[in-house]
Amino acid sequence: MIQVIIRALDILEFVAQHGKEPVQLFRIAEHAGLSQPTTANIVKTLVQKNYLEQLGRKKGYRLGIGSYQLTGNPSYQQDLITAAKECMEELTGQLKETSILAMIRNNKRVVIHLVESDQMLQVRTAMVAEVYNTSTGRLLMAYLSAKELDNLIKTIGIPTKKLWPGADTKAGLDKALKNIRQEEFVQTLSVHHTVGFAVPVYKNKQVIAGLSVFVPESRYTESHKEKISRSIRRASKKITERLEKTE
């Protein structure tokens, strides 16, 4: 038997036993019977693969979206998804375009819920993507704390000029993120010829997710943009109101 795989599964099972309560590294190491450095290496890999997520250096770890997707368990961020599901279905029905709900996890943009359109030509999006490549990724970056943003930039670097024109320096990136916060809106054109729109979803006055709609460039018009902007903002407001009622 390959011991490192057994250890990794033991760690996942131990963290899973604690539900949403984060488990600190030293407790994981004690349970696994391993040194903290060895445990940290295994945990780091599980975080990179989204099977665990870190809630901060001192807070510890809990199951990540990868664990829920692997088992088909729908309970990841269930309160948020429950509040968003009907609104997203209405949004996709109105626009005839795919909508997604996303968060930043482990320095990646991760889709936690998706409603596909029934168009013959529709946009396909990766469930996990680089932050700079997506409208929701850029949007959510704008609402990170200064410390979170610094850590993300240290990990993934500054975007290239080709990828995000005007944001290829720290000053340019800061300005772009400030504009996003002011407008509460992002529009992107990807190298795959898709136009993405994203707006924030709030809970307790904090941005907790990004709501996005994708349109093939061949189907995009300026009038389409105006309709999407109105509809996506309206849907986001409804989701935020529903989240407030769950408090």
| DSSP per residue, 41-97 | HHHHHHHHTTSEEE--TTT-EEE-HHHHHHHT-TTTTHHHHHHHHHHHHHHHHHHTS
The pLDDT of residue 53 is: 78
The encoded tokens of residue 203 equal: 């809970």
**Furthest CA-CA distance within the chain:** 61
DSSP code for 185: -
pLDDT, residue 73, reads 58
- For the 78-245 domain, the top CATH level (class) is alpha beta
Please give the order of strands across the beta sheet that includes 194-203: 128-130, 108-115, 99-105, 206-216, 194-203, 186-189
Residues with Cβ within 8 Å of residue 92, at least 6 apart in sequence: 98, 99, 115, 116, 117, 213
Token pair for 158: 């500054």
**Whose structure tokens read 């996942």?**
12
Residue range(s) of every CATH 1.10.10.10 domain in the chain? 3-71
The pLDDT value given to residue 191: 67
Assigned CATH for 3-71: 1.10.10.10
Q: How far is CA 16 from CA 103, 202, 210, in A?
A: 21, 27, 26
Distance CA 114, CA 81 (A): 10
- pLDDT on residue 67: 76
DSSP bridge pairs for 213:
99, 197
Note the pTM of the prediction, 2 decimals. 0.78
From first to last of its 247 residues, the chain has per-residue pLDDT tens of: 578 888 888 888 888 888 778 888 888 888 888 888 888 899 888 888 888 878 766 778 888 877 776 655 555 677 888 899 999 999 999 988 889 999 998 888 988 888 987 766 556 677 788 999 999 999 999 999 998 899 899 999 999 998 899 999 999 999 999 999 999 999 998 766 788 899 999 998 999 999 999 888 777 777 778 888 999 999 999 999 999 876 5
What are the residue ranges of CATH 3.30.450.40 in the chain?
78-245
